[in-house]
Amino acid sequence: MHRFREILILIGGTVGTTIGGCGGQAADNATDTSSPAITAPARPERDRPVHVINIDLRSCGRQPGADDRFRVIAHETNAEQHTPAFEAALIKAIHRSASAYGWAPVEPICVHVFSSDNAFIQGLQELGQFPPSESFKYRSVIGTVGYDQFSRREAIFMNTVATTQPKQAAYLVTHEYFHIVQNHVANVNAPMWYLEGMAEWEAFRLVGAPIPTWLAILLTDERQGRSHPFSTLETSEQWWQINRGASPYFKATAAILYLERLAGADAPIDVLRGTGVDSASFELIFSSVSGMGVEEFENTLPQFLEELYLEQLATQTPLP
């Protein structure tokens, strides 16, 4: 779902926000519970379509791709530079989802790439059929998933306005791709912190940590009482309303790493799959896999963070 541009600043970006959610009319038919739409207060002056570029509305259906499982379409000249990074990342991500989750795209996923906020909003409206009144809240978003309304294929919409490095592009599109995977693997009935954490965990695994100091930042927030508790990170509404910084994503990532430490490398996927079986509750499945309830898990997470930080320090090469 949401990734805030502040994270891109930390990775090496130059402007100030999120990886987004599925919204608009596309969300009505989509299964992406990682990013349900939120009704924002109407702003009459913005309740109209944006038109700043000419978009080929049937581009996903007619444009050939380097891989028959996805199509990367750059709708602005400045966005073309990120195509190789997106393509390479998606090839790795699809291989991972096929081997670990047992799912890979049957039809090409449309990846619509923009390089400015206004064009991104226009793309959501015209390609994803997001209502204007809703689409404007995505002005601060750098990625979301939905449907390409003309090909009826699943789609990733990317705004590369804050992307300056190939690693950023790879990380962000990997995160979004695994939100699509989540919806195919299970009838997703998990809290946002878990879904976001899993998408981050996969990007972390395939691309690398977003920034070297992510754990130190999170640990500082935990020690100073600034970390968001899981109870405030459960719903999409809560996730939209939290402070737009990196820490919630870091905590969600750390939670999945902790689960992996407790129960093995397959545990996060086992929990995800379990949420789609007989409408079983997340709490029940999570406790069964991890060996503890969510409350106990969260209470013991800070100790894991301290241990993980010491492990990282021990593996660092000292300066000469």
Res 320 pLDDT > 80: no
- Residue 33's pLDDT is 38
Q: Quick check: is 200 in a domain? A: yes
> How much is the mean pLDDT over the chain?
83
Res 304 pLDDT > 60: yes
- Residue 66's pLDDT is 67
The pLDDT of 269-284, averaged and rounded, is 83
Among the three residues 156, 185, 214, which one is the final residue of a domain in this structure? 185
- Residue 164's pLDDT is 86
Overall number of domains in the chain: 2
Verify that 135 and 218 share a domain, yes or no. Answer: no
The pLDDT of 125-142, averaged and rounded, is 88
Place 136 in a pLDDT band, splitting at 50, 70 and 90: confident
Q: Quick check: is 320 in a domain? A: no
The pLDDT of 74-91, averaged and rounded, is 95
Verify that 17 and 111 share a domain, yes or no. Answer: yes
Verify that 156 and 203 share a domain, yes or no. Answer: no
Verify that 133 and 230 share a domain, yes or no. Answer: no
Provide the sign of the torsion angle of the four alpha carbons 282, 273, 171, 143, taken in this order: negative
Res 43 pLDDT > 50: no
Through-space distance between the first and last CA atoms of the chain, rounded to whole angstroms? 42
- Is the model more confident about 152 or about 275? 152
Place 37 in a pLDDT band, splitting at 50, 70 and 90: very low
CA–CA gap between residue 158 and residue 163 (Å, rounded): 10
Q: Quick check: is 58 in a domain? A: yes
The pLDDT of 305-313, averaged and rounded, is 93
Verify that 27 and 163 share a domain, yes or no. Answer: yes
Place 278 in a pLDDT band, splitting at 50, 70 and 90: low
Q: Quick check: is 250 in a domain? A: yes
pLDDT > 90: what percent of the chain? 62
User: At a CB cut-off of 8 Å and minimum separation 6, what does 225 contact?
Assistant: none
Closest by alpha carbon to 157, among 97, 219, 76, 230? 76
Q: Quick check: is 144 in a domain? A: yes
Closest by alpha carbon to 194, among 1, 11, 19? 1
Query: Which residues constitute the domain of residue 235?
Result: 192-315
Closest by alpha carbon to 213, among 73, 69, 316? 316
User: At a CB cut-off of 8 Å and minimum separation 6, what does 187 contact?
Assistant: 275, 276, 279
Residue 68: C-alpha distances to residues 14, 96, 108, 147, 221 (Å): 34, 16, 6, 17, 43
- Residue 17's pLDDT is 34
Verify that 177 and 292 share a domain, yes or no. Answer: no
Place 208 in a pLDDT band, splitting at 50, 70 and 90: very high
Verify that 292 and 169 share a domain, yes or no. Answer: no
The pLDDT of 290-310, averaged and rounded, is 96
H helix or E strand, kind and range, residue 110: strand 109-114
Verify that 162 and 60 share a domain, yes or no. Answer: yes
The pLDDT of 16-22, averaged and rounded, is 39
Verify that 220 and 260 share a domain, yes or no. Answer: yes
Verify that 167 and 304 share a domain, yes or no. Answer: no
Q: Quick check: is 67 in a domain? A: yes
Among the three residues 166, 185, 204, which one is the final residue of a domain in this structure? 185
Report pLDDT digits (tens) over 239-267.
888 755 678 999 999 999 999 999 999 99
* Cα Rg of the chain (Å, integer): 19
Verify that 64 and 209 share a domain, yes or no. Answer: no
Among the three residues 155, 185, 215, which one is the final residue of a domain in this structure? 185
Place 142 in a pLDDT band, splitting at 50, 70 and 90: confident
Verify that 196 and 175 share a domain, yes or no. Answer: no
Q: Quick check: is 170 in a domain? A: yes
